[in-house]
Each structure stands twice: as C-alpha cells, then as structure tokens.
Amino acid sequence: MKKTLHKQGVLLALALLVSLCAMSCGPGESSGKKGDQQPATGKAAQTAKPGGIEKPSEAPKPRDVDTVDLGGGVKMDLVWVPAGSFQMGSPDSEQGRNDSEGPVHTVELDGFWMAKYEVTQEQYEAVMGKNPSNFKGAKNPVEMVSWNDATDFCRKLTDKVGRASSPAKSFRLPTEAEWEYACRAGSSTRFCFGDSDNGLDEYAWYGGNSDNTTHPVGEKKPNDWGLYAMHGNVWEWCGDWYGEKYYGSSDRKNPQGASSGELRVLRGGSWFRDPGDCRSAFRFGNGPARAGDEVRVGIVTMLLFGNSTPVDPYGFRVVCGGLSSR
C-alpha cells in the first residue's frame, strides 16, 4: 500500500512539473511551428492596423479621372493634368499667328484637375437652375455665358459639392497658361495633333464642319491627356485679365495673367471660326459681362441665318487644384 501511494505521488509530481513547464514556455513554443511567429513589438507594433498596413495613396497620372456628382444623375468628369513646363505662345513662323502670341516663353505649372469636357447645359442647369444657351441640348456645351456667370458657377459648384472649406479643392476657371498647357498636352505644333488644318475635322467642331451649330461634347477625338474639344465648339473663358503684351513680362512659375485690365481671356475657337482661330496659341479678350460675339453679317451669313444676327457664344470649363494649392 505504501509503495502504491509513493508511486502515485511520484507520478503526480511529474505531471505537475510538465504542466508548469508548458505554462512557462507559452502556447506552441515547443512545437517549432506557431512559435516562429513573434508578436509585433516596437515600431512594427505601432504601425500595424486591423486589416493590414495602409498603403499611401498614389499620385494621380495623366488621364486619371475624378468624377463629381452634381445630383439628379448629372456628373462631371475631371482629368488629371500633370505638373510640368512648356513653351507658351507661338513662333513668328507659325501660320495664322498674331503678335499677342509672343514672345514664346517658358512656363512651369503645378498639376491640376481639368474638366474632361466643356461644361454642358445639364451640368450648368444642375448648379445654376437655368440654361441661357442658344443651341439647346443637354449634352451640348452651355453657351451665352459671361465671365461673370462662369466664375459664379465655379463658386456655386464648390458650395454644392461641399468643397468651400478646402481652397485646394475649390473650382475655378483655368489660368490662360493652364489652358494652353492642357490644350497642347505635350505638343508644340499649331494644334494638339500637328500643324495641318486637314486633321482638325477629327478633333474639333469648327466653321468647316459644324453645320452652323454647337454639338454634344465627346463626339470628337481627345488630345493625348484625354481632354475633349480644346479646339472648337465654343470659346472658353480663362480666369486671367487679357494683356496683349503680357507675354513679355510673364512670370515663369504658375503665371496668372496681367494684374489688371478691361478684358478677360478667351481661348479655343468655336463652331463658327476658321482653323487659325482654333489653334493652341490663339488668344483674344472680351469684357467680363459679354456672353458672346456678334458675327459680322455678310451675304453668306444672311443666307445661313436669315434676318437674325448670329452670335458666336462663349462657354467654359472648370479646374481645381494646382497653383501651389492656392
């Protein structure tokens, strides 16, 4: 009996010893499997997050698109225009050149988002509650819009989509330099695609193919950065004051035009204009309250439009970001 009790006591002691050893070693450590995974310590423990380590968002690339919801099923696509530099203006040898397009000068710009298309009538109406256009069509560019109207649209759009507290994300008109940089999309020729008028039909609605009206956006080819109708369809307002000799004293980094003036810049040509007026470098100005340009009446114009005086109307597109985040 004593021997039996002694034997049971020894077995109990051994069992207790094994149990204590297992507790001190920790779960799985004796197996050499799960014990190979060490708990996060130090810096690794501080950066670990549920679901994995968060990756930083990548910088946008050319042709990347950001979509803004305007409500009622209406949306606006913005295309990323990368930071860079270019030669602004046109050389003396360019066909159709005006003196105000020189001298050619180097401009450096921040990256920014630009509307993929000219602002359409449905987009304008979704923000402003009205449509002033002559040539009606939901997908046609809005026109008969003054510079004052266009800047008011930018302010109201910013408020509508909740960006008023973030100047870097607020909407505005492009500067003249941003507009030409985006239009060229890396090119240095008369148009974004080359020098010949013959290729314009594929990229623009202008006097040679428009049938005397504007057309829905997106029907022609985009430039290399994914922007449509930078040539033709409707004139586009820029934010700058127009200075005929401004290029001679322009800032190199993020220029924003003349410091004052009476006219605002217009770019891009229109459905009514000749190819020369649709060139990347072509520029002119008009008063900020003007919404269009009366077309000179001649025999051909009278045959096309009857007794009504046609108007070459103005539109616009918006941008956000850039200019060193404002």
What is the pLDDT confidence band of residue 324, given thresholds at 50, 70 and 90? confident
Q: Give the model confidence (pLDDT) of 185-218 as tens digits.
A: 999 999 999 999 999 999 999 999 999 999 999 9
Rounded to two decimals, the pTM is 0.80
Distance CA 321, CA 110 (A): 8
pLDDT at 6 over 60: no
Would you state the pLDDT for residue 26? Answer: 42
Mean pLDDT over each residue of the chain, to the nearest integer? 84
Inside any domain, residue 60: no
Amino acid at 239: G
Q: Higher pLDDT residue, 14 or 258? A: 258
Would you state the pLDDT for residue 268? Answer: 98
Neighbouring CB atoms inside 10 A of 251's CB total 12
Inside any domain, residue 74: yes
Inside any domain, residue 57: no
Would you state the pLDDT for residue 166? Answer: 87
Q: Give the model confidence (pLDDT) of 88-123 as tens digits.
A: 999 999 999 999 999 999 999 999 999 999 999 999
What is the pLDDT confidence band of residue 10, given thresholds at 50, 70 and 90? very low
Distance CA 235, CA 143 (A): 9
pLDDT at 37 over 90: no
Inside any domain, residue 270: yes
Question: Which CATH number belongs to the domain containing residue 196 in this structure?
Answer: 3.90.1580.10
Domain count along the chain: 1
Distance CA 241, CA 243 (A): 6
Inside any domain, residue 213: yes
Alpha-carbon distance values, 101 to 95, 96, 223, 247 (Å): 12, 11, 21, 8
Inside any domain, residue 52: no
Residue closest to 273 by CA, chosen among 316, 320, 236: 236
Would you state the pLDDT for residue 295? Answer: 58
The encoded tokens of residue 20 equal: 């204590």
Backbone angles phi, psi at 177, to 5 degrees: -65, -45
Tell me what the mean pLDDT of segment 17-22 comes to: 42
Q: Higher pLDDT residue, 59 or 81? A: 81
Inside any domain, residue 3: no
Q: What angle do CA 204, 286, 136 make, to 5 degrees?
A: 50
Cβ neighbours for 312, distance < 8 A, ≥ 6 positions apart: 235, 270, 271, 272, 273, 292, 293, 294, 295
Distance CA 79, CA 174 (A): 13
Inside any domain, residue 42: no
Residue-range definition of the domain harbouring residue 302: 65-325
What is the pLDDT confidence band of residue 5, given thresholds at 50, 70 and 90? very low
Would you state the pLDDT for residue 30? Answer: 35
Element (H or E) spanning 111, and its range? none
Element (H or E) spanning 237, and its range? strand 235-241
Q: Give the model confidence (pLDDT) of 264-317 as tens digits.
A: 999 999 999 999 999 999 999 999 999 998 655 444 444 444 444 457 899 999
Tell me what the mean pLDDT of segment 169-179 comes to: 97
- Strand intervals (E) in 13-159: 65-71, 74-81, 84-88, 105-109, 112-115
Q: Give the model confidence (pLDDT) of 38-66 as tens digits.
A: 333 333 333 333 333 333 457 788 889 99
Alpha-carbon distance values, 323 to 91, 165, 167, 168, 193 (Å): 26, 17, 11, 9, 27
pLDDT at 87 over 60: yes
Cβ neighbours for 52, distance < 8 A, ≥ 6 positions apart: none
Whether the CB-CB separation of 220 and 204 falls below 8 Å is answered with: yes
